[in-house]
Structure formats: C-alpha cells, structure tokens
Amino acid sequence: MIHVIVLCALCFNSDNAVAQESHIEFEQQKLEINLLEENESEMLFELVANTYPLLMHIDLESESVKLYIHSHWIETHFNYTYDIDLETALGQIKWLESPKQKDIILLLPEATEEFLSFQLIKFNKKRYELEAGEYILETNEYNDVPNFYTSHAMRLIQKGNQFMIQLGDYESHGAFGSIR
C-alpha cells in the first residue's frame, strides 16, 4: 500500500523530472451546446469546443443519453432528471482538452445521493480509444458546491491511466478504464 501512495506522489509531483516528461495536461475549454433537433421523444445536441463537434442524443422516453464520438455511439450516465433539470445538467458539462495531443475529456453530471458526481469520457485522438473515469466532488467546505463547480475552471493532469483534477483549491485523484 505504501508503494502505491509513493507511486502516485511521483506521478503528480511537478518537481519530478519523470512526471514532467510523461504527463498530459488538460485545460477547460469554452463549450457551446446547440439544440439541433427536438420532438416529443428525443433531443439532439451538438457540443462544440476547439477541436471538433460531438453529438449528444437524449431519448426522453427511456431517459438514456448517448454521445457520438469518432464514429461511435457511447452510452453515458448523463443525469438530467434526478434532482436536476436539463438546463442545469447541460450547464454542468465541462470540456477539457490537451493542447498538444488534442485529446478531449467530457465531464457529464451523474445521478448522486450526496456529493456531485461526474462521468469522465476521454477520447484519445492518436489511438482512437475511448476511456472512462469518475469524478466525485466530495466536499462540504463550500456553501454552494454546484456553484463552486460551475464557477471555477478545471484542470486535469494524466499520467498513464491515473489522473488528478484541480478545481479552484480542491484536488481529487482517480483512474481511467477502457470503454470498449
């Protein structure tokens, strides 16, 4: 167990030469969300940032949501019904991008009982791979945690499948796993 903690400290210590050479930094980008189509049973949105647009399909009857990324429809855990409305949920989506690789990460709000929880979906542009992770804003330090989340820019640092998220002065760690 101590070895794992030391390894994670090496991964994210910015003074460490190995960490500086082999980590990927993601910065939050301005995201525009446009409604393309709507009828009584479904909605189609376009999510646009620097790199390229993605499509989000919401099936209103089954409350399922899919993302279209590089010729693949991906089932998501996007929550727009449980203790949240669609407009608020769309406002909580964050788009992060690595300037060098142009890889992207989307954070989508998930249903949660206590803390804000988000599904991370990462698209690796070089290998055309999709990965997923989870981010939970486990804090009661702030009076209005949803406002804290939406009003602060996010930064993610990845080394291997491990990541560290910085949101204002809050920091959290996690790992990516394969989607397909």
**Boundaries of every domain in the chain:** 23-178
Q: What phi, psi does 165 have (nearest 5°)?
A: -110, 135
Angle formed at CA 152 by CA 35 and CA 175, multiple of 5 degrees:
85
Q: What is the pLDDT of residue 20?
A: 47
Summarised one tens digit per residue, pLDDT across range 29-88 is: 899 999 999 999 999 999 998 767 889 999 999 989 999 987 888 888 888 888 788 998
| Extended strands (E) in the chain | 24-29, 32-38, 42-48, 54-59, 64-69, 72-75, 94-97, 104-109, 116-124, 129-137, 154-159, 162-167, 170-175, 177-178
How large is the greatest C-alpha to C-alpha distance in the chain, in angstroms?
A: 55
Handedness of CA 7, 9, 15, 19 (dihedral sign): positive
Taking 50 as the threshold, does the pLDDT of residue 16 lie above it?
no
Both tokens assigned to 37? 């189509």
Q: What is the pLDDT of residue 12?
A: 42
Summarised one tens digit per residue, pLDDT across range 77-119 is: 888 888 788 998 899 898 989 987 778 888 888 876 667 778 8
Q: What is the pLDDT of residue 8?
A: 33
User: 175 or 59, which is more confident?
Assistant: 59
Residues in the chain: 180
Q: What phi, psi does 89 have (nearest 5°)?
A: -60, -45
- Quickly state the pLDDT bin for 180 (edges 50, 70, 90): low
User: 83 or 6, which is more confident?
Assistant: 83
Taking 70 as the threshold, does the pLDDT of residue 22 lie above it?
yes
Taking 50 as the threshold, does the pLDDT of residue 14 lie above it?
no
Q: What is the pLDDT of residue 176?
A: 86
Angle formed at CA 11 by CA 9 and CA 16, multiple of 5 degrees:
85
If one counts every other C-beta atom within 10 angstroms of the C-beta of residue 130, the result is 18
Highest mean pLDDT among 47-56, 117-126, 154-163: 154-163
